[in-house]
Amino acid sequence: MIQFISHYTEQYSYLDSIRLALLGGCRWIQLRVKGASDEDVLPMALEAQKMCKEHGATFIIDDRVDMVKAIGADGVHLGKNDMPVAEARRILGKDFIIGGTANTFEDVRKHYQDGANYIGCGPFRFTTTKEKLSPILGLEGYMDIVLKMKEEKIDIPIVAIGGITADDIPAIMQTGVTGIAISGTVLRAESPVDEMKRLLEIVNNSSK
């Protein structure tokens, strides 16, 4: 499975990126608009939610817990500098998906104990999408974290994130992660729709 995280380029807006990902067959979308006010993001969120509904896709918003609750999105993704998972769970109750960013197994365990439903784990490698970055994990980092999750029976899905391209996917999936989060690499392709189709196919064919 692939989670697409919205992104923009000179050519495509945030909403364009989501539309292209959906047309390419992605059914798990995260609207991530850093550095914008809720007022600016709300209309985008409503439009993105509408598109996701039309495609039967799961719709997650980055960081904005109150907005997620207000518009009834499927869930929220919380980065390392966002609201803590436990606090978001208190606000949202049990009907919303909460994802948390983790860089280490300790982060994973903490998120799990606090009530997270999936983990975005990274970064795989250095990336230009994020300004503040934690140490990179590489394949060994994922193998180690997946193994420890098994040992402690932490059974929530974990998706790898951070500078991942098509060529990386088979090896990353072999580490036992559940899926991949993708952002910039799709929009940089000549045809983002075809690129998303190709990435989904690679993921589907490289499950462990």
Partner 1 sequence: MKILINNKQTETETKSLSELAAELNLPERGVAVAVSNKMVPRTEWEGTLLTEGANVVIIKAACGG
SS (H, E, C) 131-197: CCCCCCCHHHHHHHHHHHHHHCCCCCCEEECCCCCHHHHHHHHHCCCCEEEECHHHHHCCCHHHHHH
* The one segment of 10-18, 35-43, 78-86, 91-99 that binds partner 1 by CB under 8 A: 91-99
**Which one, 120 or 184, has the nearer CB to partner 1?**
120
Q: Distance (Å, rounded) from C-alpha 72 to C-alpha 53?
A: 12
Token look-up 């990336």 returns 127
Span interacting with partner 1, options 38-46, 92-100, 131-139, 182-190, rule CB under 8 A? 92-100
Q: Does 129 bind partner 1 (CB under 8 A)?
A: no
Q: Two tokens at 149?
A: 């999750």
Tell whether residue 117 is a contact of partner 1 (CB under 8 A). Answer: yes
Closest CA to 160 of 76, 101, 81: 101
Q: Restricting to residues 150-179, name those near partner 1 by CB under 8 A.
A: 150, 155-157, 178-179
d(CA 208, CA 192): 26
H/E element, 79? none
Q: Would you say 137 and 103 are in contact if contact means Cβ atoms under 8 Å apart?
A: yes
Among residues 32 and 77, whose Cβ is nearest to partner 1?
77
Residue that the structure tokens 């509408």 belong to: 50
Sole window of 11-19, 121-129, 135-143, 199-207 interacting with partner 1 (rule: CB under 8 A): 199-207
Q: Which is nearer to partner 1, 117 or 129 (CB)?
A: 117
Q: How far is the CB of 40 from partner 1 (least distance, A)?
A: 26
Residue 95 sits in the site that holds partner 1 (CB under 8 A): yes
How far apart CA 202 and CA 37 sit, in angstroms, is 36
- The contact mask relative to partner 1 for 1-40 (x = CB under 8 A, - = no) is xx-----------------------xxx------------
| Binding residue (CB under 8 A) for partner 1 from 67, 97, 133, 139 | 97
d(CA 84, CA 89): 9
Kindly state the number of chain residues that form the binding site for partner 1, as judged by CB under 8 A.
30
Of 1 and 133, which has the nearer Cβ to partner 1? 1
**Which residues here bind partner 1, judged by CB under 8 A?**
1-2, 26-28, 55-58, 72, 74-75, 94-98, 115, 117-118, 150, 155-157, 178-179, 200, 203-204, 207
